């Protein structure tokens, strides 16, 4: 079944909510987040279907604006979306509001300056976000039309707007919705989550002006709370070491470990590791070559809702030959990176 797109896997929330080493309040917040997340899945899937139908009727979108408007709403602890409109969010004294605005603006700039993309839909779509969602809500999600961020419980997770990779991860689910239109199950689901991790990681590196050698390749490092850190859990995922013990949700690093029906948050570790291998083999900055190959593979070869990992790997090989004809080093890096994960 397709799920709406969030950063924390359901089974992690379930496992933590059943861990009695945490306080009753923390466990209750995790359980409530899980229950609410289950009900939100249908909304995201319906939005994906509507996008598919809309693009079939009108394949070329009329541009709404030359650059996207960035709007912010404050749920003020409620679960009413979008919440109260925030005027001048870039000057807000609410750090969460301001951070969401600044980071979303930066993501729009990243996609425009690095890939030439005009917002989520490449047609100037307004980038709308809601913050302070729910009480101690332990997640962030793209629901098909907008972004929503919880404040975390302060123990396992902190304010989800603190992770700039988290912000880009979720907004990239929107980009995937308007490009490949990947389903959220089986191999396509793993690719869906991987696209968001890859571009979220690239954005984090781009923001810090890091080379692939300097980057830590962690996903969700900045949203981990003090209790989680004290237990040695320093991130959600690690693209360089998918199965590492410091990950809250360790992942497989080879296709032989893939199982049909696997949660996309886990199977995404396979293409994540391939991207890491390719980017580090190429050196320099991840968005300059590896990122260009990934982006072109997403937008340049049509929709593919049920795309398999081997097919996507072959797409990147084909795109590499188009973007870097005659460059044996780049072709080898891409080919070998995929082969190292069994693809």
Percent of the chain with pLDDT over 90: 77
Domain end residue (candidates: 112, 143, 177): 177
Residues 289 and 255 in one domain: yes
Average pLDDT along the chain: 91
* pLDDT grade for 64, boundaries at 50, 70 and 90: confident
pLDDT tens-digit profile of 196-239? 999 999 999 999 999 999 999 999 999 999 999 999 999 999 99
CA pair distance 268, 192, nearest whole angstrom = 8
pLDDT of residue 4 exceeding 60, the answer is: no
Q: How confident is the model at residue 35 (pLDDT cuts 50, 70, 90)?
A: low
Rounded to whole angstroms, the Cα distance separating 280 from 61 reads 36
**Tokens 């709403």 found at:** 73
Which residue range forms the structural domain that includes residue 334? 186-339
Question: Of 151, 177, 203, at which residue does a domain stop?
Answer: 177
Looking at the structure, tell me whether residues 144 and 201 fall in a common domain: no
Q: Report d(CA 26, CA 221) in Å as an integer.
A: 20
* Tokens 């199950």 belong to residue: 185
Say yes or no: 327 and 272 in one domain.
Answer: yes
Same-domain pairing of 167 and 200: no
240 contacts 276 by C-beta, under 8 angstroms: yes
* Domain termination site, one of 146, 177, 208: 177
d(CA 322, CA 309): 20
CA gap 201, 276 in Å, rounded: 10
Is pLDDT of 303 > 80? Answer: yes
Q: How far apart are the first and last CA of the chain?
A: 25
Average pLDDT over residues 317-341: 97
Helix or strand or coil: residue 202?
A: helix
Per the document, the length of the chain is 343
E strands in 75-198: 84-85, 127-131, 140-142, 147-149
* Statement to judge: residues 278 and 236 lie in one domain: yes
Are 278 and 151 in the same domain? no
For the CA atoms of the chain, what is the radius of gyration?
A: 19
Secondary structure of residue 68 in the 3-state scheme: coil
User: pLDDT tens-digit profile of 108-149?
Assistant: 999 999 999 999 999 999 999 999 999 899 999 998 899 999
Q: Which sequence positions are flagged as catalytic?
A: 170, 265
Q: What's the pTM value of the predicted model, to 2 decimals?
A: 0.91
**CA 180, 327, 172: angle at the middle one, nearest 5?**
25
Give the per-residue pLDDT at 306: 95
Q: How many CB atoms lie within 10 A of CB 35?
A: 11
Is 298 found in the same domain as 204? yes
| Residue 326: how many other CB atoms lie within 10 Å | 7
Q: Are 141 and 74 in contact (CB under 8 A)?
A: no
Tell me, yes or no, whether 152 and 247 share the same domain: no
Tell me the average pLDDT across 257-279: 96
Average pLDDT for 77-97: 96
The answer to whether residues 140 and 232 belong to one domain is: no
DSSP H or E segment with residue 168: helix 164-177
* 224 and 170 co-located in one domain: no
Q: Is the pLDDT of residue 6 over 90?
A: no
- CATH number, residue 198: 1.10.390.10
* Residues 6+ away with beta carbon under 8 Å from 209: none
Same domain, 167 and 208: no
Q: What is the rounded CA–CA span in Å between residue 140 and residue 236?
A: 13
CATH code of the domain covering residue 115 = 3.10.170.10
Q: Are residues 168 and 201 in the same domain?
A: no
Report the domain count for the chain.
2
């Amino acid at each position: 079944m397709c799920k709406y797109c969030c950063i924390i896997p359901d089974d992690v929330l379930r496992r933590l909510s059943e861990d009695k080493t945490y306080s009753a309040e923390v466990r209750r917040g995790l359980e409530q987040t899980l229950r609410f997340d289950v009900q939100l899945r249908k909304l995201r899937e319906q939005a994906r279907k509507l996008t598919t139908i809309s693009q079939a009727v009108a394949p070329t979108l009329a541009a709404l604006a030359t650059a996207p408007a960035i709007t912010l709403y404050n749920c003020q602890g409620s679960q009413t979306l979008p919440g109260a409109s925030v005027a001048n969010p870039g000057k807000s004294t609410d750090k969460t509001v301001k951070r969401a605005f600044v980071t979303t603006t930066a993501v729009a700039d990243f996609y425009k300056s690095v890939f030439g993309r005009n917002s989520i839909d490449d047609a100037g779509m307004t980038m709308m976000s809601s913050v302070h969602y729910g009480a101690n809500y332990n997640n962030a999600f793209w629901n098909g039309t907008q972004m929503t961020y919880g404040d975390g419980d302060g123990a396992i997770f902190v304010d989800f707007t603190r992770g700039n990779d988290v912000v880009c991860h979720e907004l990239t689910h929107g980009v995937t919705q308007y490009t490949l239109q990947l389903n959220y199950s089986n191999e396509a689901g793993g690719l869906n989550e991987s696209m968001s991790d890859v571009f979220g990681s690239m954005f984090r590196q781009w923001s810090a002006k890091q080379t692939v050698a300097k980057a830590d390749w962690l996903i969700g490092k900045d949203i981990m709370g003090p209790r989680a850190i004290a237990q040695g859990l320093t991130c959600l995922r690690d693209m360089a070491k998918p199965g590492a013990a410091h990950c809250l949700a360790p992942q497989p690093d080879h296709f032989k470990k893939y199982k049909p029906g696997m949660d996309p948050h886990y199977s995404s570790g396979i293409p994540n590791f391939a991207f890491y291998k390719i980017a580090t083999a190429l050196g320099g900055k991840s968005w300059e070559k590896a990122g260009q190959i990934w982006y072109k593979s997403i937008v340049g070869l049509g929709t593919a809702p049920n795309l398999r990992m081997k097919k996507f790997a072959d797409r990147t090989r084909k795109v590499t030959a188009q973007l870097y004809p005659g460059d044996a080093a780049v072709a080898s890096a891409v080919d070998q990176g995929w082969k190292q994960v069994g693809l």
